[in-house]
Structure 1
């Protein structure tokens, strides 16, 4: 299956087998990913579970520890880049899940987030099993082209994205969470935005463009992230 097809069946996997994986698959794919911002340096390392502090009630045989220089939009860039990898792994029958509560035991200041992964027999779902906001809740106009973003995973399923149509495409916004939710989601929602944009890129690979404008409209309860053309 293509990366695009994975969007419509993928689920965050939390049940893994102990089967070995050819890690060269990951390294080879990462040579071809598209960044959202190519001026930001990032990297990753593959760790076995014994090299990870995992505060979840479940575990996985392997984790990808993700690193980045801390520049503007680095979190969106991380979500954008590594969601492409998540879709690729799904297509290789390797389940995966973004995890904010797992970090390398030898932690670097550039560490951002981890992805758990491993072979699994429980990593797909039917379209009816997605619990997502209606298209009208994530956009000013009902636009089915946004379904790939609608189906993106997010921290505690917070779905922080909002798309406003413009003459050239969409202005992209992130919900401003309340004080309590910001304590939980403040670090992760920008990554979620990058994940949603990755889905839009995968479906519109030949035409997708993203930039940050100066003349965007300020919307109450939302923060402007950038502008997208598809």
Structure 2
């Protein structure tokens, strides 16, 4: 199993087959996944489409309903944990898509977001087909080390992450959206940053470290999210 390879071919799937899936390997993987913040409790349910309020024009046979304690950087933690799960599912032939529009029918105050998943015929793409910002637009200067983050998925492809080089890695920021986008993306963009950090972790598994600094440079139009060493 090589999750890093999946970063460069992954495609968000919105067309699924009705094939049944053996969930055991997914459950086993989630039980050992690396969190961004191990002080935040999270949990999940595997649901069918009948248990989900569908607002998209598409649906999937299965959904991961993700729940979390709502404290600290819980949204970044959700993105970090479950993007690893998404890459794992891709590696075993299961397509997925982050789904911020649909919701669970059984209300729960801990609910955060869904991931749709299932077997799919079109799960991969060539790296040339990714529509992403140039590396120079997501960092203070272009750096190939950030390609894994560059390729991360995000809500309406907003790509809200920004990496500033530091003496020992990168300080990570989230772009403040304009007032219109802010209403739509205020919940999802922190998850997006966590997704990008998951890609950086998977690509640098043996050296990745995350911390939150007390004293960090403020960037106009950006919100500090944390710092990484890779």
TM-score range, shorter chain: over 0.9
1:141 shift after superposition: 1.5
Q: Secondary structure at the match of 1:26?
A: helix
Residue of structure 1 in register with 2:218 after alignment: 218
Residue of structure 1 in register with 2:71 after alignment: 71
Measured in 2, the distance between the counterparts of 1:123 and 1:155 equals 19
Which runs of 5 or more structure 1 residues have no equivalent in the other structure? none
Q: Secondary structure at the match of 2:106?
A: coil
The number of residues matched between the two structures is 230
Measured in 2, the distance between the counterparts of 1:70 and 1:54 equals 24
How high is the TM-score relative to the length of structure 1? 0.99
Residue of structure 2 in register with 1:132 after alignment: 132
1:101 shift after superposition: 1.1
Measured in 2, the distance between the counterparts of 1:42 and 1:31 equals 11
* Equivalent residue runs for 1:177-192 within 5 Å: 177-192=177-192
Residue of structure 2 in register with 1:81 after alignment: 81
Residue of structure 1 in register with 2:51 after alignment: 51
How high is the TM-score relative to the length of structure 2? 0.99
Measured in 2, the distance between the counterparts of 1:188 and 1:207 equals 27
1:81 shift after superposition: 0.2
Q: Secondary structure at the match of 2:125?
A: coil
1:60 and 2:60 matched: yes
Q: Deviations over 1:111-165 (max 9, x none)?
A: 0000000001111111111000000000112110000000000000000000000
- RMSD, matched Cα: 0.6
Measured in 1, the distance between the counterparts of 2:159 and 2:50 equals 32
Measured in 1, the distance between the counterparts of 2:18 and 2:169 equals 44
1:86 shift after superposition: 0.1
Q: Secondary structure at the match of 1:45?
A: strand
Residue of structure 2 in register with 1:115 after alignment: 115
Measured in 1, the distance between the counterparts of 2:183 and 2:27 equals 34
Q: Secondary structure at the match of 1:125?
A: coil
Q: Deviations over 1:46-105 (max 9, x none)?
A: 000011001000000000000000001000000000000000000111000000011111
Measured in 1, the distance between the counterparts of 2:127 and 2:203 equals 17
1:26 shift after superposition: 1.1
1:31 shift after superposition: 1.5
Measured in 2, the distance between the counterparts of 1:82 and 1:63 equals 12
* Equivalent residue runs for 1:142-157 within 5 Å: 142-157=142-157
1:13 and 2:13 matched: yes
